[in-house]
């Protein structure tokens, strides 16, 4: 028998209940954006197939949308809530607004939603920058240019805007 005449194993089409179960397990761990959940559901099918050394399950787009819609209607999936919590979480970790914006965009949140959430947040980014600088470099902050440059680079690497970084030195000089 030649290779072309051998019957090919057909990939399974995932069922609604299995896909919904996967979504619930993923959302049970933490909030996700709609785009992030869709990506993880597709990846989980690929990973499961790879582990079992078989063809990956096919997840039809309409089935995936049905599951995502159900999760959203049931309150399990909410991009606005995800965005707010993500901003708070990342600011507590010492990341600046630019870095948070970038990470939200990578999670599939649209620019308008990011802008709105950033405007509504009560995070004082300049104060966070000052806290991070003092945590890393101590109080008082360095006064020599070479040492100030280290503080500047550190805060830039954390994703703080230049005006927030400038306010750290301006307020320190007072």
Task: Note the pLDDT of residue 10.
Answer: 45
Task: Note the pLDDT of residue 7.
Answer: 45
- CA dihedral sign of residues 70, 76, 81, 87: negative
Query: What CATH code would you report for 16-74?
Result: 1.10.10
Q: Is 13 helix (H, G, I), strand (E, B) or coil?
A: strand
DSSP state of 4: G
**Domain locations in the chain?**
16-74, 79-121, 125-171
d(CA 59, CA 48): 13
Over residues 37-74, the pLDDT tens digits come to 999 998 887 776 666 677 777 888 999 999 999 999 99
On whether the 79-121 domain is CATH 1.10.1760, my answer is: no
User: pTM, whole model, 2 decimals?
Assistant: 0.81
Q: Do domains 79-121 and 125-171 have the same CATH topology?
A: yes
Backbone angles phi, psi at 29, to 5 degrees: -85, -40
d(CA 136, CA 165): 14
Over residues 74-118, the pLDDT tens digits come to 999 999 999 999 999 999 999 999 999 999 999 999 999 999 999
Q: Which CATH class is domain 125-171?
A: mainly alpha
pLDDT > 50? residue 11: no
Task: Note the pLDDT of residue 58.
Answer: 80
Neighbours of 1 (CB within 10 A): 6
Over residues 114-154, the pLDDT tens digits come to 999 999 999 999 999 999 999 999 888 888 889 899 999 99
Task: Note the pLDDT of residue 172.
Answer: 62
């Amino acid at each position: 028998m030649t290779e072309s005449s051998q019957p090919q194993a057909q990939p399974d089409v995932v069922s609604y209940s299995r896909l919904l179960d996967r979504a619930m397990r993923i959302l049970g761990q933490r909030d996700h954006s709609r785009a992030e959940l869709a990506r993880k559901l597709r990846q989980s099918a690929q990973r499961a197939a790879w582990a079992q050394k078989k063809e990956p399950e096919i997840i039809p787009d309409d089935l995936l949308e049905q599951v995502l819609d159900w999760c959203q209607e049931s309150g399990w999936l909410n991009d606005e809530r995800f965005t707010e919590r993500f901003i708070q979480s990342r600011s507590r970790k010492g990341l600046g607004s630019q870095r948070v914006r970038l990470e939200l965009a990578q999670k599939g949140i649209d620019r308008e939603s990011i802008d709105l959430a950033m405007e509504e947040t009560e995070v004082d980014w300049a104060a966070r920058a000052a806290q991070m600088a003092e945590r890393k470099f101590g109080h008082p902050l360095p006064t020599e240019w070479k040492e100030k440059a280290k503080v500047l680079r550190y805060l830039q690497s954390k994703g703080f805007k230049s005006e927030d970084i400038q306010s750290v030195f301006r307020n320190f000089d007072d």
